[in-house]
Structure 1
């Protein structure tokens, strides 16, 4: 994760979901580190659209899961 005056915090996390064809990458952005927006992408190759939509829905509904991904990105800021 990086931080600058214009964009605030920007980080990315690569992750896999058991049973899904392709790994994912989430790009996280926050001006002040409190409210986060994100983009969810396939990490290396195109995958199944239904699978990425299911992950996106889960991220919208599961605050704990989303929080774990934010924390994973923040770890690199601390290093």
Structure 2
């Protein structure tokens, strides 16, 4: 990784990716990046999309740590 490239979400095993869901909306999660370029998992819920941080390669799927992907 070069100095200017954004960090990427570490690859999760396919079977883990298949079962991970947003704990709030139960929507599927996809790879994304936060405003600061940090890796996140984004829910695909059309009504209430949320972003969850990935810290040290571990998805943190806590409702209190989620941030909305849309303005309120």
TM (norm. structure 2) is 0.32
Bigger relative CO (Cα 8 Å, ≥ 6 apart):
1
Specify which structure has the higher proportion of helix.
1
TM (norm. structure 1) is 0.30
Structure with the greater alpha carbon radius of gyration: 1
